[in-house]
Structure formats: structure tokens, C-alpha cells
């Protein structure tokens, strides 16, 4: 088809345009019209505002530095994504505060935290520090296995016994009556039970019970964890299991998946309070579970990359050392797993942003743990590959055409 025929076909599809327009002028006008229509046709999202939380603004205190910022105007023509609904174009540029750097501002402004409230995930490493407290308990202490007591009588010195241990079966050995149950009793209950049992042998026993060594379970718990100098107690590092639980000494399994540090602290301390008095547990996040993204396709270094900070799509492609020649950056696919493991996917067009034609690309989204970025090849590259497979590596390799004469 000649250039004249192409121009005629373009004019027939748009009969209202003047005939004196050239094809290049016509296409340029159509491109500008489509760009303006794309900008004006954007409507505010009617779903996202109901889901997204209200943004939080952090206002740091002003810190006068005494540094002259220069005579340049602080505002220049630019794009601020907070000033409009939807994606903006370069023709929407307005005055934006691009203030010259003041003293120390190269480190960047105070930003919102990546997560307002952290909740525990699988493979998080938690450190539990065990601290002995001196708080008074609300209930009366009950003797346990391993405790030691003194027994004496005002009327009979033969009943005097010092440092009697409570044996593993919960009993103590008393003169006249032999083994006697003592575990899970208060001091007053044990004294009363001993007097009733000894009245068969002594008219007025007048027994006195003195606890010497108590709360031995606390000492056993402290010996069960590893000491860590400088934290005011002893600590234990535990990894959150794939089922969302972790194992703690004396209380067993505790489900912590999706809980905050304060919720874990309250749950663990309530369980320890039922078994051991005088102990307080302080949990902290020692190391969060690694967050990874996977980049595949037409990139220079495909593979798995760890997220150490909020990362956008272009930043994720930069981790893979950029795109190869022939990569289709207008149809980048993102695969994502939701909370119930269902698959969510989208196609992004980041070509305009990479070429500097879109100042506020809406496709430049944030990535999160487990995202898969697939960069497909361009259609021309697919065609070249298919041609090479068919003609170069296919039929020509099987049936060489060299030396074949076609006789008419």
C-alpha cells in the first residue's frame, strides 16, 4: 500500500477532518485528542475510598538550623499526586514546593511507618525475656513439689524437723505418721491437717509450719531459658511455627499468629500467672519473617529478591537489573496471593513512566510479600522467535535446501 492510499484510508475513517491535513499531522492530532480524553475521562474510584484507611499526617517539630536556603524560589512546575483524583499528566503540572535542601535534609522527610501496627507472621523470630517481679499476688501461696519447710512443736521437741523437702509425690515425712500430703496446700491448711493427724499420738501438738524455700517452679523456669546479659532477666528466642503457634516452657503451645506484641504479652502472662507466681514475660520482635518477591521473564537477572523497604514495581525491576531488549513493559503481569490464598492478578503499563511521559503513573503500585512479577516479551520478539524456531531450527535443519534444483 502506497503512502497516498494510506492517507486516503485514514481520511475515509475520519471524513470530518480537512483534506489538506497530512497523515502525520492527523495522527499527531489524534494522539493529543486521545491523551486529553484519557485525562478527562478518569473518574474517581467508587470502591477504594470505602476500603482505604484515613491517611495519617505526621507533623515533625520545626528545627531552626540557621542555614540560608538561598534565593531560589521554593516552588516550581511539577506534579503532586495528592492534588487530584486519578492519574495526572504533564499538562496538569502546577506549582509544587520543591524546596532546596536545608541543613541535613538529604536524609529525607519524616515518613509514615510502613505498618501502623505490626502483627506476628509465620517465621517471625520472637524473644521472650523473663523478669522476676516482686508484686504481691491476690491469692494465698500453695506449696509445691521442691519447696522446703520447717516443722516444730511447742509441747514436743521430738517433732522438730528442719528443711523438710516436699517430695515428687507431694508428701513430706513427719514423725509418728510418716508420709503426709503437703503439695497444693497453704501453710495454714498444712498446719491444721498436721495437728489433727498428730492428736492421735500427742494430746496438744501445737504444730508450727515455717516455709523456707518456696516457689521453686520459678527457679526451674529461669534455668530452662538461656541467660542474656543486659536485659534484666533471662530470655528465649522462639520461631513462630507454620501453624501460627509457638512453644513456651511450662505453658506449652500458644497461638500468636496475627497478634500484636501487647496481645501476646497479655496472653502469655495470664497463662504463666496460673502456674508460676513472681514472673513477668516481655516479648519483642527480634527478626521479622523475610519478605520476598519473584521476578521472571525478560529481565537481566531473574530470581528471588528480599524486600527490605517499601518497594514499587519499577524498584522491583531494578532489583532484577532492569529489562532486556525486547521486553514488553506495557503488559507486566503481577500475580498475588490474598489472605485466603486465592490468586489475584493484574496487568500494568509502566512504559510511560520509564520514558518520562507519565509523571504520576497509576500503574506504579507497591509490591508485597510473595508477589510474582512476569515481564513478557514484545510481540515482535515472539514473532522473531517463532520464525527462528520454524525456519532456522525447524524445517531447514531437517531438510536443507542447499543443493536442491527445482526443474520446471
**CATH number attached to the domain at 125-137+218-287:** 3.30.1950.10
What are the angstrom distances between the C-alpha of 263 and each of 185, 274, 322? 33, 17, 43
**Which runs of consecutive H residues, i.e. helices, occur in 59-203?**
187-198
Q: CA 133 to CA 278: how far, in whole Å? A: 5
96 confidence band (pLDDT: 50, 70, 90)? confident
The architecture of the domain spanning 292-382 is: Roll (3.10)
Q: What is the pLDDT of residue 213?
A: 82
349 confidence band (pLDDT: 50, 70, 90)? very high
Q: CA 27 to CA 270: how far, in whole Å? A: 73
User: In sequence order, what DSSP letters do the residues of 80-110 get, joined into one string?
Assistant: -GGGSSS---GGG-EEEE-PPP-TTGGG---
Mean pLDDT confidence for 290-309: 94
C-alpha cell at 31: 494522539
By the 10 Å C-beta count (0-12 exposed, 13-18 middle, 19+ buried), 211 is classed as: middle
Higher pLDDT, residue 113 or 67: 113
Residue entry with cell 531560589: 72
Q: How many CB atoms lie within 10 A of CB 184?
A: 12
Contact between 175 and 159 (Cβ < 8 Å) = yes
Q: How many CB atoms lie within 10 A of CB 36?
A: 12
The predicted-structure confidence for 156-166, as pLDDT tens digits, reads as follows 787 888 888 88
Annotation: CATH topology of 148-214? wza like fold (3.30.1950)
Q: What is the pLDDT of residue 3?
A: 56
CA atoms within 13 A on the CB side of 402: 2
Mean pLDDT confidence for 354-369: 90
* Segment of 27-31, 102-106, 274-278 carrying the highest mean pLDDT: 274-278
Mean pLDDT confidence for 300-326: 93
**Which runs of consecutive H residues, i.e. helices, occur in 225-312?**
261-275
10 confidence band (pLDDT: 50, 70, 90)? low
Nearest to 129 by CA among 281, 287, 285, 286: 281
Maximum Cα–Cα distance across the chain: 139
The predicted-structure confidence for 37-55, as pLDDT tens digits, reads as follows 443 334 444 444 444 445 5
Q: What is the pLDDT of residue 52?
A: 44
Q: What is the pLDDT of residue 5?
A: 61
388 confidence band (pLDDT: 50, 70, 90)? low
The predicted-structure confidence for 232-275, as pLDDT tens digits, reads as follows 458 888 999 999 999 998 888 999 999 999 999 999 999 988 88
Q: What is the pLDDT of residue 68?
A: 47
Taking all residues of the chain, what is their mean pLDDT, rounded to a whole number? 77
As a whole-number percent, the residues of the chain with pLDDT over 90 amount to 28
**Core vs surface per residue 261-286: b (16+ CB within 10 A) or e:** beebbebbeebbeeebbbbbbbbeee
Rounded to the nearest angstrom, the gap between the alpha carbon of residue 5 and the centroid of all alpha carbons in its chain is: 60
| 321, pLDDT greater than 80 | yes
What are the angstrom distances between the C-alpha of 318 and each of 118, 188, 298, 321? 28, 73, 13, 5
Helices and strands in the chain: count of H runs, count of E runs: 10, 18
215 confidence band (pLDDT: 50, 70, 90)? confident
Q: What is the pLDDT of residue 380?
A: 64
Question: Where exactly are the structural domains of the chain?
Answer: 20-39+71-105, 125-137+218-287, 148-214, 292-382
- The domains spanning 148-214 and 292-382 adopt the same CATH topology: no
* 345 Cβ neighbours under 8 A, 6+ residues apart: 333, 334, 335, 336
| 401, pLDDT greater than 60 | no
Q: What is the pLDDT of residue 38?
A: 41
As a whole-number percent, the residues of the chain with pLDDT over 70 amount to 68
| 282, pLDDT greater than 80 | yes
* 211 Cβ neighbours under 8 A, 6+ residues apart: 141, 143, 147, 148, 149, 187
| 185, pLDDT greater than 80 | yes
Q: Helix or strand or coil: residue 243?
A: coil
Amino acid at each position: 500500500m502506497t503512502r497516498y492510499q494510506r492517507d486516503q484510508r485514514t481520511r475515509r475513517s475520519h471524513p470530518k477532518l480537512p483534506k489538506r491535513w497530512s497523515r502525520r499531522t492527523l495522527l499527531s492530532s489524534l494522539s493529543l485528542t486521545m491523551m486529553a480524553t484519557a485525562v478527562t475521562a478518569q473518574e474517581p474510584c467508587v470502591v477504594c475510598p470505602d476500603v482505604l484507611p484515613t491517611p495519617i499526617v505526621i507533623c515533625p517539630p520545626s528545627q531552626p538550623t540557621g542555614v540560608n536556603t538561598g534565593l531560589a524560589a521554593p516552588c516550581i512546575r511539577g506534579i503532586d499526586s495528592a492534588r487530584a483524583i486519578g492519574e495526572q499528566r504533564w499538562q496538569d503540572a502546577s506549582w509544587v514546593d520543591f524546596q532546596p535542601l536545608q541543613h541535613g535534609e538529604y536524609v529525607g522527610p519524616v515518613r509514615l511507618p510502613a505498618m501502623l501496627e505490626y502483627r506476628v507472621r509465620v517465621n517471625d523470630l520472637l524473644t521472650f525475656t523473663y523478669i522476676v517481679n516482686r508484686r504481691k499476688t491476690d491469692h494465698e501461696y500453695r506449696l509445691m513439689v521442691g519447696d522446703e519447710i520447717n516443722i516444730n512443736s511447742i509441747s514436743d521437741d521430738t517433732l522438730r524437723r528442719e528443711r523438710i523437702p516436699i517430695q515428687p509425690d507431694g508428701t513430706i515425712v513427719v514423725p509418728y505418721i510418716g508420709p503426709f500430703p503437703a503439695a497444693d496446700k497453704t501453710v495454714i491448711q498444712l498446719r491444721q491437717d498436721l495437728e489433727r493427724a498428730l492428736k492421735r499420738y500427742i494430746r496438744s501438738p501445737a504444730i508450727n509450719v515455717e516455709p523456707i524455700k518456696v516457689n521453686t517452679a520459678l527457679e526451674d523456669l529461669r534455668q530452662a531459658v538461656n541467660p542474656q546479659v543486659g536485659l534484666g532477666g533471662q530470655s528465649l528466642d522462639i520461631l513462630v511455627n507454620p501453624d501460627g503457634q509457638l512453644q513456651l516452657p511450662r505453658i506449652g503451645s500458644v497461638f500468636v499468629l496475627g497478634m500484636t506484641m501487647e496481645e501476646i504479652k497479655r496472653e502469655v502472662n495470664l497463662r504463666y500467672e496460673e502456674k508460676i507466681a513472681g514472673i513477668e514475660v516481655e516479648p519483642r520482635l527480634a527478626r521479622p519473617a523475610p519478605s520476598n518477591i519473584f521476578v521472571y521473564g525478560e529481565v537481566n537477572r531473574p530470581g528471588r529478591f528480599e524486600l527490605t523497604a517499601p518497594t514499587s514495581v519499577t524498584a522491583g525491576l531494578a532489583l532484577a537489573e532492569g529489562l532486556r531488549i525486547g521486553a514488553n513493559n506495557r503488559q507486566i503481569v503481577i500475580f498475588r496471593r490474598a489472605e485466603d490464598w486465592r490468586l489475584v492478578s493484574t496487568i500494568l503499563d509502566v512504559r510511560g513512566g520509564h520514558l518520562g511521559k507519565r509523571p504520576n503513573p497509576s500503574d506504579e503500585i507497591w509490591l508485597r510479600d510473595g508477589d510474582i512479577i512476569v515481564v513478557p516479551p514484545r510481540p515482535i520478539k515472539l514473532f522473531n522467535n517463532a520464525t527462528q524456531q520454524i525456519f532456522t531450527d525447524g524445517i531447514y535443519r531437517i531438510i536443507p535446501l542447499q543443493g536442491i534444483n527445482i526443474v520446471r
